Amino acid sequence: MSTHVESGPHVGPMASLVLTSLAENWWLLLLRGLAAIAFGVIAFLWPGITLVALTYLFGIYAIVDGVFAIWAAFSASGDAGPRWWLGLSGVVSIIAGVLAFAYTGMTALVLLMFIAAWAIIIGVLQLYAAVRLRKLINNEWWLILSGLLSIAFGAVLVAWPGTGALAVIWTIAWFAVFFGCMFVGLAFELKKLKRT
């Protein structure tokens, strides 16, 4: 599982700067992954969680995730090229978190559709990032897998909105843990890249 920057005429300097910027801030992706895993573990350990508590828990996670994403997008020094997809995913997460706090009285169905839309948007942005970086790293599959997982999770929630509350909580918890593991894996791949 080695990650390296490829050279050659097919790789632009902007894309290389973006990857270097991400590698310099690998720990922010690690924090995003750990936050997702913590969210999932709490949901597993608290199976009797109420809808309002789940909404608050999701809101906190989404805001923390968004702050880390925006920080990663703007923390690079110099012109690291277009990182709008990372900043946009942070903005989407923060808006989702704020809306979750603003509408704590939403029904289970509305909450599910809300989380589904958030997951699909984040997944699409991650797939975009994987396409942008595919010529620069060997293991872009971390981003591809997390993007596909996010989209699949959103699609499952849309397709089966009438599942029981416990099944919904466990589905969300499993997604958060797997999603977090993908980010942790990507963070360590970027850390290897930074060393090289």
CB 184 within 8 A of CB 30: yes
Query: Which pairs from 141-145 meet CB under 8 Å and 24+ separation?
Result: 142/182, 142/185, 142/186, 142/189, 143/182, 143/186, 145/182
Q: Looking at residue 11, what is its pLDDT?
A: 45
Amino acid at position 170, single letter = W
69 CB-contact burial (10 Å; exposed 0-12 / middle 13-18 / buried 19+): buried
Q: Looking at residue 83, what is its pLDDT?
A: 67
Determine the CATH number of domain 13-195.
1.25.40
Helix spans in 75-103 (H): 84-102
How far apart CA 80 and CA 60 sit, in angstroms, is: 29
Under DSSP, is residue 104 helix (H, G, I), strand (E, B) or coil?
Answer: coil
Q: Which residue would you say has higher pLDDT here, 110 or 34? A: 34
Domain range annotation of the chain:
13-195
> Is 12 a residue whose pLDDT tops 60?
no
Residue that the structure tokens 């620069």 belong to? 136
> Is 187 a residue whose pLDDT tops 80?
yes
Q: Looking at residue 153, what is its pLDDT?
A: 85
> Is 120 a residue whose pLDDT tops 70?
yes
Q: Per residue in 125-161, pLDDT tens?
A: 888 877 877 666 666 677 788 888 889 888 888 887 6
> Is 6 a residue whose pLDDT tops 50?
no
Give residue 134's Cα distance to chain centre.
18
